[in-house]
Amino acid sequence: MTDDPHILWLGQEGAPGNPLLGGKFASLAEMTAAGFAVPPGFGVTTTAYRVFMAHAGLDDKAAFVREAARRSALADIGSARARLVEAIGAAPMPEKLETAIRRNYAILEERTARAGVPVAVRSSGEAEDLADASFAGQHDTYLWITGADAVLQNIRACWASMFGDTALSYRAGGDGAVAAGGDGICVGVQQMVEARAAGVMFTLDPLNGDRSKIVTEACWGLGEGVVKGDVTPGRFTVDKVTLEIVQREIVPQSEEYRFDPASGAVRLMPLAPEREHAACIDDDEALALATLAKRIEGHRGAAQDIEWAIGADGDVRVLQVRPETVWSQRESTTLVSESRSAVEHVLARLSGGRVATADPGQREP
Amino acid sequence: MTETPASGDTRQPAAAAPPNRGFPSPFELPTPDGAEGWEELYPYYCLISDERRAMEEGKFWFFDGMHNPEPLYPFDTIMTENWWVAASQMASRVWPIPVAMGIDQRLVNGYIYVSPNSVTDPDQIAARHEYFARRAGHYFENWDEIYGNWVEKAKDCIARLNQIEFRPLPELEPEETVFGHRGVYSSHDLLSAYNRLIENMLEMGSYHFEMLNLGYGAYLTFREFCQQAFPGITDRTLTQIVCGIDNLLLRPDDKVRELAELAIQRDLAGVVLQHDDPDAMLAAMAKAEGGAEWLEAFEAAKEPWFHFSTGVGYDHSDPVWIDDLRLPFIALRGYVEALQRGEDIRRPLERLLAERQRVTEEYRALLPTDQDREAFDGLLALTCKVFPYVEDHNFYVEHWHHTIFWSKVRELADVFVAHDFFDDREDLFYLHRHEVYDALYDLLIGWATGTPPRGEVYWRPIVERRRRIRDSLCQWTPPPALGTPPSVVTEPITIMLWGITEKTIEEWLGVDPAAAGDVLRGVPASAGKVTGPARVITRTENLYSVHQGEILVCRITAPSWATVFGRIGAAVSDVGGMMAHTAIISREYGLPAVVGVGFATATIRTGDRVEVDGNEGTVRVLERAAP
């Protein structure tokens, strides 16, 4: 195990789909290899996490907490869990690992030609982004981290987030996925996109499962608000085949997530007044995003849920791709109630009937 | 008459909807000033009847501005009266369509309102279905053969129409009729020519609808299936999937492109570009070296392709290419200039075909199950089978046949002018066709007896009065609907042809044209966003006044307006269902278009700065022109 790499770059050979990167980062490596614009970064692999836990002597305690979670007995072990989280924050980092992380952060600084380049430190769980459960948002992500010291500190925070309330409860419910996926975690360190606008895209209409649509939700600033739900995004619905915008909902926005130099953190900040009622992406950008989504879906071979950002330079970056999990798992419902000839369909219609009796718009997820 | 910025300013607003969310009663509409007595222009059966007030008010009437945007000329009701029977009988008595009877009509202030009759009794629907399945099934199964015969019938009807002649009566019968012992003379020939003309029109009018309901029905079924599978799929995508990219309606413009290419090849571009006046150009062409060859090609192209109306063919006043060469020649000059700039003016048929195939295959792949793909394939194949008729009948009937019909009516009018009934051939259109029969008989009596016919003094004041009345009616804006709104719309033709659904009615009920404000909504027909000065065209003959880059605002655009699409920045129309060709032509020219706006011509004035958003389906008045 310890022979496995502790660090894997997104663009590195052997990275795409590598389980050592966890679900999210393995997918991003795959996107990078396929030529999609993914911000550069590296994963501190699940091996690195296990090496750290073993080095700190925390393996048994972790196993105990996870077992309690499986038995839904979390309430009984509150103090044990708090001690574990504290220990992960305080235990010494193996020197080799710390050096590797510092060295690779320095490489990222070099590659981006920016000292103290701001990065996102993102959890990428082994059980995450499987086709049957998204685990979306169950692990922590830390934005706008600068400098190797802060990166190291936030990697520990990601490791600790494995034992947070939400992560453990979600896992407790999704036993199949957990059993299949294991309990490792990779932590991604990736250049921040200083987003002018960002959001998510679905390669089907999440409201009714219509696969001929691409639905993009977008807001000003970083996409955190869309993911967290505390910013109401604008919505563009694009026909996947003709790539025409079929619906546009522009929502007024008063605050955006961006980096606040005063507090040194990302937080909700007032939006420039001239942007409050303006669309955060124009039609051309909405279509460029939909085109990108269609390509990603084509590459991945199934409906996807995509996080994206547009930088101040106007370039689109893919931040996350994962299989769409709600509609994709449902059995396809046939639209036509009975098999008959086209002429019979027309005759029935002109007698007051309809061809399709199952209406995708009426179906509930 | 030319379109001036002030035109339309004198239009009187339509009566506002009463507060109970119904439409105005047809009995409550005020007669426009100066139009008192307008009812005399039309037969009794075209008018709202006071004796049947409850029935008339209980029906839902909507304005058919798509076919007749203006108050009808009395003679022109032959077209509307034709489909009143010919289209209706197909649904009610011939097939019969289980859920639909015919489509009723009334003329209100000279404007045509129509009302579809539905069948709602389930037992009756079931009984009609039996007949319908057998009869319609026969047509669908044998479609190509029946359509092949239909084309022959249509051409034969047109050939017989061409043979009808009208000539003033001679001073004395010619020798050959006497010595040929015919026993019938010029009087009989003239009367029977008129009868044949009317019968020929009604014959073609019947062919018009022989297969149309079924064609629409197939498309409607395919469309609804796709709309359920892909909610929000646009009509422009659906028409892209089924429309012929090489249908006959595009042929006249293709011929103009060919003539432009020939002019370039024979070094005749200068001759084409030198003269705006068609006669001057043709005269110069005759003198130019190689001009004879071009003229020969031009003459060949005219038959039948220049029998092309600039309207929908139902109005005698719509200019026709073959009679008024300005429209095709404007396009011709445009194409010649494009060729001189090195542009390729041919329609990219292969690219259009490839794109259509891609779109079709991608949607097909997105269907949930194989059973759905089977239904999609079958309905698409059937729709593509019926579509050549749905599109091309329009050329045979409304363009080729009807434009010749109107020219024959003018030939008859010349007989009346020669016999001193009218001063101008156009005056005849102020008589209903039954009145024309009377006038013609009056003329025969005068000729036969030697007593001057009463018609010499009778018709002139009537024509003058009717002209004034009709001009006053033109200043009125018809409300989109009258009577009692229906809760459901099931009649297929209403949905297909006029694009009227429960949603349309809901929107009409919610809109007060006087308070519509500066943002108008319609159907996004062709993508893109353009801002420019508006040019409101309510009369087809004013089409020439459209300037480069203007936004065309009209009641409806006809396929034959294609030639001005090369100059305009965007198109906006009051009406337009899914079968409107505006969308297809706009897309081909890459112009934004919004159709079915409802009140565009009443709200927008020529010279207003407007923004047309063909993505959103909105038309915004940004700046009002100075009054």
Question: Does residue B555 contact residue B574 with C-beta atoms inside 8 Å?
Answer: yes
Tokens of B624: 């009002």
Q: Which residues of A111-120 are buried (b: 16+ CB within 10 A; e: fewer)?
A: ebeeeebbbb
Is the pLDDT assigned to residue B109 strictly greater than 90?
A: yes
Is the pLDDT assigned to residue B117 strictly greater than 70?
A: yes
A350 and B490 within 8 Å at the Cβ level: the answer is no
Which region among B208-222, B235-249, B336-350 has the lowest average model confidence (pLDDT)?
Answer: B235-249
Residues A123, A141: Cα–Cα separation, whole Å: 6
Residues B139, B134: Cα–Cα separation, whole Å: 9
Q: How confident is the model at residue B601 (pLDDT cuts 50, 70, 90)?
A: confident
B201 vs A81, higher pLDDT:
B201
Is the pLDDT assigned to residue A41 strictly greater than 90?
A: yes
ipTM surpasses 0.85: no
Question: Does residue A138 contact residue A162 with C-beta atoms inside 8 Å?
Answer: no
Mean pLDDT of A157-180: 63
3-state SS track over B379-446:
HHHHHHHHHHHHHHHHHHHHHHHHHHHHHHHHHHHHHHHHCCCCCCHHHHHHCCHHHHHHHHHHHHHH
Q: How do residues B261-310 score in pLDDT, each as one tens digit?
A: 999 999 999 999 999 899 999 999 999 999 999 999 999 999 999 999 88
Predicted local confidence at residue B499, as pLDDT: 75
Q: How do residues A221-278 score in pLDDT, each as one tens digit?
A: 998 888 777 888 889 999 999 998 888 888 888 899 999 999 988 988 999 999 988 8
B231 vs B555, higher pLDDT:
B231
Task: State the average pLDDT for chain A.
Answer: 85
Residues A222, A228: Cα–Cα separation, whole Å: 11
Q: How confident is the model at residue B587 (pLDDT cuts 50, 70, 90)?
A: low
Look up tokens 């836990």; give the residue. A53
Residues A142, A129: Cα–Cα separation, whole Å: 19
Q: How do residues A9-22 score in pLDDT, each as one tens digit?
A: 999 999 998 999 99
Mean pLDDT of A176-185: 54
Strand partners, A130: A133
Predicted local confidence at residue B498, as pLDDT: 78
Mean pLDDT of B572-599: 68
Predicted local confidence at residue B2, as pLDDT: 31
Is the pLDDT assigned to residue A79 strictly greater than 90?
A: no
Angle between helices A78-90 and A46-56 (to 10 degrees): 100
Residues B394, B243: Cα–Cα separation, whole Å: 14
**Would you call A277 exposed, middle or buried from its count of C-beta atoms within 10 A (0-12, 13-18, 19+)?**
exposed
Distance in angstroms between the alpha carbons of the first and the last residue of chain B: 20
Question: What CATH number does the domain located at A7-191 have?
Answer: 3.30.1490.20
Q: CA-based Rg of chain B, rounded to a whole angstrom?
A: 25
Phi-psi region of B517 (alpha: psi -120 to 50; beta: other; left: phi over 0): left
Q: How confident is the model at residue B12 (pLDDT cuts 50, 70, 90)?
A: very low
Which region among A48-57, A139-148, B391-400 has the lowest average model confidence (pLDDT)?
Answer: A139-148
- 3-state secondary structure (DSSP) of residue A45: coil
- Sequence ranges of chain A with CATH classification 3.30.470.20: 195-323
Question: Does residue B389 contact residue B397 with C-beta atoms inside 8 Å?
Answer: no
Question: Which residues of chain A does B136 touch, with a Cβ-Cβ cutoff of 8 Å?
Answer: 346-347, 350
Is the pLDDT assigned to residue A183 strictly greater than 90?
A: no
- 3-state secondary structure (DSSP) of residue A8: strand
Distance in angstroms between the alpha carbons of the first and the last residue of chain A: 42
Is the pLDDT assigned to residue B317 strictly greater than 70?
A: yes
Predicted local confidence at residue A355, as pLDDT: 64
Tokens of A181: 């996926």
Question: Does residue B386 contact residue B211 with C-beta atoms inside 8 Å?
Answer: yes
Q: How do residues B545-560 score in pLDDT, each as one tens digit?
A: 788 889 998 877 665 5
**Would you call B362 exposed, middle or buried from its count of C-beta atoms within 10 A (0-12, 13-18, 19+)?**
middle
Look up tokens 């026709």; give the residue. B320
DSSP, residue by residue, A189-221:
EEEPP-EEEEEEEESS-TTT--TTEEEEEEEEB
DSSP single-letter state for residue B624: P
The C-alpha of B15 sits at a distance from chain A's nearest C-alpha, in angstroms, of: 34
B228 and A333 within 8 Å at the Cβ level: the answer is no
Strand partners, A188: A43, A122
Predicted local confidence at residue B441, as pLDDT: 98
B366 and A241 within 8 Å at the Cβ level: the answer is yes
Is the pLDDT assigned to residue A137 strictly greater than 60?
A: no
Is the pLDDT assigned to residue A133 strictly greater than 50?
A: no
Question: Which residues of chain B does A295 touch, with a Cβ-Cβ cutoff of 8 Å?
Answer: none
Question: Does residue B518 contact residue B620 with C-beta atoms inside 8 Å?
Answer: yes
Question: Does residue B305 contact residue B255 with C-beta atoms inside 8 Å?
Answer: yes
Beta pairing, strands B551-554 & B529-537: parallel
Predicted local confidence at residue A169, as pLDDT: 62
- Sequence ranges of chain A with CATH classification 3.30.1490.20: 7-191
Mean pLDDT of A41-64: 92
Predicted local confidence at residue A184, as pLDDT: 84
Q: How many degrees, rounded to 5, is the angle at CA B464 between CA B462 and CA B467?
A: 105
Predicted local confidence at residue A166, as pLDDT: 64
Is the pLDDT assigned to residue B11 strictly greater than 80?
A: no
The kind and range of the H/E element at A236 are strand A234-239
Is the pLDDT assigned to residue A359 strictly greater than 70?
A: no
Q: How confident is the model at residue A216 (pLDDT cuts 50, 70, 90)?
A: very high
Mean pLDDT of A25-31: 94
A192 vs B579, higher pLDDT:
A192
Mean pLDDT of A212-228: 89
Is the pLDDT assigned to residue B610 strictly greater than 90?
A: yes
Q: How many degrees, rounded to 5, is the angle at CA B590 between CA B585 and CA B592?
A: 85
Q: Tell me which of A283, A344, A347 to substitute to probe the interface with B (most B C-beta atoms closer than 10 Å).
A: A347
Which amino acid appears at position B526 of this protein?
S
Q: How many degrees, rounded to 5, is the angle at CA A77 between CA A72 and CA A83?
A: 135
Q: How do residues A276-329 score in pLDDT, each as one tens digit?
A: 888 899 999 999 999 999 999 999 999 999 999 999 888 999 999 988 877 877
Mean pLDDT of A30-53: 95
Phi and psi of A219, rounded to 5°? -140, 165
The C-alpha of A123 sits at a distance from chain B's nearest C-alpha, in angstroms, of: 34
Q: How do residues A256-269 score in pLDDT, each as one tens digit?
A: 999 999 998 898 89
A63 vs B580, higher pLDDT:
A63
Query: Hey, what domains does chain B have and what are their CATH numbers?
Result: 17-121+420-511 (no CATH), 248-304+316-346 (no CATH), 515-623 (3.50.30.10)
Is the C-alpha dihedral spanning B453, B459, B460, B461 positive or negative?
A: positive
Q: How confident is the model at residue B318 (pLDDT cuts 50, 70, 90)?
A: confident
Predicted local confidence at residue B562, as pLDDT: 64
Residues of chain A that touch chain B, judged by Cβ-Cβ distance less than 8 Å:
205, 208, 210-213, 237, 239-242, 244-248, 283, 332-336, 339, 341-343, 345-347, 349-352, 354-356, 359-361
Predicted local confidence at residue B6, as pLDDT: 33
Q: Tell me which of B95, B120, B372 to substitute to probe the interface with A (most A C-beta atoms closer than 10 Å).
A: B372
Predicted local confidence at residue B517, as pLDDT: 59
Question: Which residues of chain A does B237 touch, with a Cβ-Cβ cutoff of 8 Å?
Answer: 239, 241-242, 244
Chain A and chain B share a number of CB contacts under 8 A equal to 140
Of all residues in chain A, the one with the smallest CA distance to B524 is A246
Which residue of B100, B225, B378 is in closest CB contact with A341?
B378
Predicted local confidence at residue B39, as pLDDT: 97
Is the pLDDT assigned to residue A86 strictly greater than 80?
A: yes
Tokens of B27: 């009995």
Task: State the average pLDDT for chain B.
Answer: 88
The superfamily CATH assigns to domain A195-323 is: ATP-grasp fold, B domain (3.30.470.20)
Residues A296, A318: Cα–Cα separation, whole Å: 10
Q: How many degrees, rounded to 5, is the angle at CA B377 between CA B372 and CA B379?
A: 95
pTM of the model: 0.78
Strand partners, A323: A304
Q: How confident is the model at residue A198 (pLDDT cuts 50, 70, 90)?
A: very high
B505 vs B320, higher pLDDT:
B320
Length of chain A: 365
Is the pLDDT assigned to residue B416 strictly greater than 80?
A: yes
The answer for residues whose C-beta is within 8 angstroms of residue B103's C-beta and 6 or more apart is B83, B84, B87, B88, B91, B114, B115, B116, B117, B491, B493, B494
Instruction: Please give the sequence-ordered ranges of beta strands (E in DSSP) within A38-184, or none if there are none.
Output: 41-44, 119-125, 141-145
Is the pLDDT assigned to residue B3 strictly greater than 50?
A: no
Which amino acid appears at position B430 of this protein?
Y
Closest CA relative to residue A167, chosen from A75, A66, A21, A56:
A66
Question: Which residues of chain B does A208 touch, with a Cβ-Cβ cutoff of 8 Å?
Answer: 231
Is the pLDDT assigned to residue B581 strictly greater than 50?
A: yes
Question: Does residue B193 contact residue B444 with C-beta atoms inside 8 Å?
Answer: no
Predicted local confidence at residue A70, as pLDDT: 74
Q: Which range scores top for mean pLDDT: A161-170, A204-213, B68-77, B513-522? A: B68-77
Length of chain B: 627
Predicted local confidence at residue B576, as pLDDT: 60
Question: Does residue B331 contact residue B263 with C-beta atoms inside 8 Å?
Answer: no
Q: How do residues B130-153 score in pLDDT, each as one tens digit?
A: 999 999 999 999 999 999 999 999
3-state SS track over B368-397:
CCHHHHHHHHHHHHHHHHHHHHHHHHHHHH
Look up tokens 């429960």; give the residue. B502
Predicted local confidence at residue B596, as pLDDT: 74
Residues B350, B343: Cα–Cα separation, whole Å: 17
Q: How far is CA B214 from CA B64, B92, B123, B454, B496, in A?
A: 21, 13, 22, 49, 11
B368 and A333 within 8 Å at the Cβ level: the answer is yes
Q: How confident is the model at residue B593 (pLDDT cuts 50, 70, 90)?
A: confident
Question: Does residue B612 contact residue B570 with C-beta atoms inside 8 Å?
Answer: yes
